[in-house]
Chain A
Amino acid sequence: MSRQSRAERWYGHLLRLYPADYRERFGVEMQQTFRDLYREQRHPAAGFWARLAADAVRGAASENLALMRSGEMKLYWSNSADQRVLAWGIGLMAPAGLFFMAAAAGVLRRVQLPVLRPSLPVLQILIVVLPLVALAINAVALARQITKRRDRGLSEKFVTKYFWTLALMIVAGGWLVLLFGHDTIGCALQNLPMLNWAGFQHCSATH
């Protein structure tokens, strides 16, 4: 594969960030314009690629926002390749939510709220149950959408449901951190994989 072909293929991947109907309308022209632009560069430097990538990402963000505002979000996820991209994104949401909780714990560990603290078994249940509920909602919704809406694209309701799930995890995580502080959460998470009740009692006693 020639250098030009590789570059065009790479730019084609970038264009996948755009809404499907936009790509259908302008995709070929944008590829053609990129081809001309690339030919002009005898030795494309890193700056050329950086400008091009920034331009494509900015343009795609703007077009997707415009689509969301117009209430035609479902058009965006109009083929199975787009659905795969979304599936990966959604699959990473739950770990990202947990990571966010851990990061927030580091920032907020000194915050103390004058509220009643639930007992440690309740904390354990919340830590285990909330992400599992979020994951279950994600998995069920994703499976339903991909099997039943393969040809029609994902619905706006479906996408909204995912964002609400992520928001729920972030809020729940933040709430737990505010309530218990970083040390107790960290200790509880460390003991979680073994479901070690003695470990939880230890956390409660030491933090």
Chain B
Amino acid sequence: MNNSVSPLTQPAFYVLLALHQHERHGYEIMKSVEQESGGQTRLGPGTLYGVIKRLLSEGMIEESGERPDPERDDERRKYYRLTVAGRQRLGVELGRLDQAVRRARELGINFAGAVR
């Protein structure tokens, strides 16, 4: 596992997670982030597009030319999808989180934060 890269920010992590299955437009990403984080992370348009801009510049996501429902959809919408680099980066991040959780369990720390 590549540990040299710095951890993703929470919004960036959830945006990559939202795009893992299929391409989405901004509002769908926003709703997915809220759902996947159990309502704990809610992105406004300002934060969301700041994250999208950064992920685009780092080559982790890209614009998708495909539109799931071109008949009903507004053509001004832009859809985004994960790149290979983005998928790898998400894998690295999940590995890092998994390692942290396993280590915490080894130390006897449960989800409530109490030590056995």
- Chain A interface residues toward B at CB < 8 A: 22, 25-26, 28-30, 32-34, 36-37, 51-52, 54-60, 62-63
Contact = CB atoms under 8 A, between A and B. Distances in A.
A6 to B, nearest CB: 18
B49 A26 contact: yes
Contacts of A63: 50
Nearest to B27: A36
A62 B26 CA distance: 19
B49 A30 contact: yes
25 contacts: A22-B53, A26-B53, A29-B26, A29-B76, A29-B78, A30-B26, A30-B49, A32-B27, A32-B74, A33-B25, A33-B26, A33-B30, A33-B45, A34-B45, A37-B30, A37-B45, A52-B44, A54-B44, A55-B43, A56-B45, A58-B46, A59-B44, A59-B46, A62-B50, A63-B50
Secondary structure of the B contact surface, majority rule? helix
B116 to A, nearest CB: 40
A25 B54 CA distance: 13
Interface residues of B, number: 18
Nearest to B74: A32
Contacts of B76: 28-29, 32
B48 to A, nearest CB: 7
Contact of A55 (B27, B47, B52): B47
Contacts of B47: 55, 58-59
Interface string B66-102: 0000000010111000000000000000000000000
Nearest to B50: A59
Contacts of B30: 33, 37
B46 A29 contact: no
A23 B97 CA distance: 35
B46 A32 contact: no
